[in-house]
């Protein structure tokens, strides 16, 4: 009887000896898979297609005719991009002289010396809680994990490659609040890539562009949903 009475105590002591504390993280743990995705951006990452796009290094091209600088809505002004995490080596691009070509997944940028370069990019299919930088579902975490895997694969082939996380918003809300929101969302994806998935911070930067490059300024809700996006751009 005496041995039986102390058995629970012995088991409790052993459990405490073998228990391990989970180290705290700067990021919340990814949630479990929930219900169906909401929103038109809810697509899986095609890692082969993403790798095929981002493995192409930026290249010099002929100047692109047409409007180059953002045109604000009446009564609004274009704000300069918000640098969230600056690249270790400054990029030679003029910050607001850029044209996106979604049909080819490239953005043309004008360098400070007046030349034009073409940078490949992909959209990161993450969804956020309205007005925040919080992911709305487990698929968003998985999308960033897949992007991290592609970055690591490209760095094995091209160790000199660098990337930038760009945050963009629709024109819903003020220009100031949109710029701030885009910067926070770019920073959130940057933090996930570096802190959770181990991407070297030396190869990654982040900026928020707000509503400056909205494809559908003042458009319908469905159109503005397409403007709320995070891009991963290869910058070198």
Q: Determine the Cα–Cα distance for residues 192 and 194; give it in Å rounded to an integer.
A: 6
pLDDT of residue 67: 56
- pLDDT at residue 13 greater than cutoff 50: no
φ, ψ at 45 (rounded to 5°): -80, 125
pLDDT in tens, 135-192: 999 999 999 999 999 999 999 999 999 999 999 999 999 999 999 999 999 999 999 9
pLDDT of residue 94: 67
Q: Does domain 37-68+79-234 have CATH number 3.30.1330.60?
A: yes
- Full-model pTM: 0.82
pLDDT of residue 218: 86
- CB burial of 189-203 (b: ≥16 within 10 Å; e: otherwise) equals bbbbbbebbebeeeb
pLDDT in tens, 29-49: 665 444 444 444 445 788 999
- pLDDT at residue 9 greater than cutoff 50: no
Query: How many Cα atoms are found within 13 Å in the side-chain-facing hemisphere of 156?
Result: 6
H runs (alpha helix) in the chain: 2-18, 47-54, 138-157, 175-191, 221-227
């Amino acid at each position: 009887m005496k041995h039986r009475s102390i058995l629970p105590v012995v088991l409790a002591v052993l459990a405490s000896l073998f228990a391990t504390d989970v180290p705290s993280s700067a990021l919340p743990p990814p949630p479990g898979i929930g219900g169906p995705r909401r929103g038109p951006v809810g697509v899986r990452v095609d890692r082969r297609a993403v790798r095929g796009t981002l493995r192409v290094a930026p290249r010099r091209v002929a100047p692109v005719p047409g409007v180059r600088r953002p045109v604000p809505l009446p009564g609004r002004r274009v704000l300069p991009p918000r640098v969230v995490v600056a690249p270790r080596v400054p990029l030679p691009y003029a910050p607001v002289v850029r044209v996106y070509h979604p049909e080819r997944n490239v953005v043309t940028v004008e360098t400070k010396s007046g030349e034009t370069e073409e940078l490949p990019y992909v959209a990161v299919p993450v969804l956020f809680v309205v007005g925040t930088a919080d992911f709305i579902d487990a698929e968003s975490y998985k999308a960033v994990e897949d992007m991290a895997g592609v970055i690591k694969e490209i760095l094995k082939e091209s160790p000199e490659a660098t990337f930038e996380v760009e945050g963009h918003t629709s024109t819903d809300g003020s220009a100031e609040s949109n710029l701030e929101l885009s910067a926070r969302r770019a920073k959130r994806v940057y933090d996930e890539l570096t802190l959770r998935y181990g991407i070297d911070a030396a190869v990654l930067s982040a900026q928020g562009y707000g509503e400056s490059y909205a494809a559908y300024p003042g458009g319908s809700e469905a159109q503005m949903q397409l403007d709320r996006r995070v891009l991963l751009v290869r910058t070198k």
